Each structure stands twice: as structure tokens, then as C-alpha cells.
Copies of this chain bind each other. A is one copy, B any other.
């Protein structure tokens, strides 16, 4: 019945036709949630969908390359001390046990053939998943571009929403 559909569209001038694409706000820095985000992203890309990962707050840790930028203010250095220095060191979302939880988790990931977080990141990049670092979060956390891996994009909430409004599946992790 195309008629009702047409009249419906006419009455809603802002109606969108969504695409087979996925956006994920990667807000958490927990290893299990980052794993979930990258598994979904890589799976969707393998199925031919366009995928955009938008990294905010603790999620930015996944993009750190392990080096450190000098010359921060005191407040931002304090936040820096609170945050892990790269994807090898992120905690899991519960049962951290002084670092034992993530270590066990990484061992299981190796045995389960999932790959470590750096491997998951490399896999997603190989599949042309778009990485965007939230510039507002970077300002808040005192993270400089020089601290993050290369070949990623930078954008604010408007760039996220532009991707999300056309995507069919939008997650906040």
C-alpha cells in the first residue's frame, strides 16, 4: 500500500530514509565495552555498512598511542594521572581487582581468537571504519592531538549528529 506511506511522508516534512549504517558513541573506557564496540563496528563494516565511531571522554583512551604530550596545566595533568596511557592499560567495567580482571580478560580474548584491543582497532581501521575524536571531550580531558593515533578525524556534536541522523543503528556504549 504505497498511498498511506506517501501521505504519511507528506505530513512529516522532516522524514528521513535511513541507511544501512551504524554510529557508535564510544564513551566508556572499559575493556569489555570497548571490545563490544569494536566487534560490532568491524562486523558491520564487514557486512558492507558504513560505520562511524565517535570517541568521547574515557573512550578517547582507546585512541592513545602511548606517548605523552608535555606542557599541561595542573588540572589536566591530574586527569591525565587518572587515565590509562593507552589501549593496553584500560580496565574492565567491573571486578577490576587491582588489574587482575583485565589481565584475565585479555588472556581469554587471546584464547578466544578475538584479538587484543590494539588488534581490534587495527582491524576496524583496515575495514574503513571512520574514527572521530570528540573535540569537546579532548578539551575537557586535556588531551592533545599529538597524543592520539594518526589518521583519525576530529569533530564536535554536530558532526556526530550528522552521521547519526542518516544511520539506522545508533548506539551509546
Contact = CB atoms under 8 A, between A and B. Distances in A.
Give the size category of A's interface with B. 35 or more
Interface string A1-16: 1100110111011111
Interface stretch (A62-70, A121-129, A162-170): A162-170
A43 interface: yes
A141 B10 contact: no
A17 B27 contact: no
Contact of A40 (B48, B75, B161, B166): B161
Quick one: copies of this chain in the complex?
3
Interface in A31-85: 32-33, 36, 39-40, 43-44, 47-49, 56-58, 75-76, 78-79, 82
Contacts of A15: 5, 17-19
Given A2-B6, A25-B36, A172-B173, 5 more contacts: A14-B19, A15-B18, A22-B164, A108-B140, A166-B168
18 contacts: A1-B10, A8-B17, A14-B19, A16-B17, A18-B168, A25-B40, A27-B32, A36-B56, A58-B93, A75-B104, A76-B108, A79-B105, A108-B140, A112-B136, A112-B139, A114-B140, A167-B169, A169-B170
Interface of A: 1-2, 5-6, 8-10, 12-22, 25, 27-29, 32-33, 36, 39-40, 43-44, 47-49, 56-58, 75-76, 78-79, 82, 93-95, 97, 101, 104-105, 107-109, 111-112, 114, 136, 139-142, 156-158, 160-161, 164-173
